[in-house]
Amino acid sequence: MNREEFDKTNVFCKGMPNDKYAKYFVGNSYLNPLVDPNDSPLFLANVTFEPSCRNNWHIHHATSGGGQILICTAGYGWYQ
């Protein structure tokens, strides 16, 4: 999928460079918060990965409920 096709498919937009969490990635990723964390108990965001970007293994701890749910909305990738 080329960038133009991806941009048409990605309903949440690419967002800003994901500098705050860059230590968890090899390559560039972008973060687009979908809710204001001050207004919502659930943080919901769209993360976009550039081609060849890798997400380093890490844990999302939660005090109750779940930790993280991933939903692919555009493009493709691999998980383990």
Is the C-alpha dihedral spanning 38, 46, 20, 25 positive or negative? positive
Give me the number of domains the chain comprises.
1
Verdict on whether the full-model pTM lies above 0.85: no
Q: Residue 5: which domain range?
A: 1-80
Q: Mean pLDDT over all residues of the chain?
A: 84
More confident residue, 24 or 42: 24
The token duo for 13 is 């937009």
Task: Give the pLDDT band of residue 17 (cuts 50, 70, 90).
Answer: very high
Q: Which residues contact 51 (CB under 8 A, 6 or more apart)?
A: none
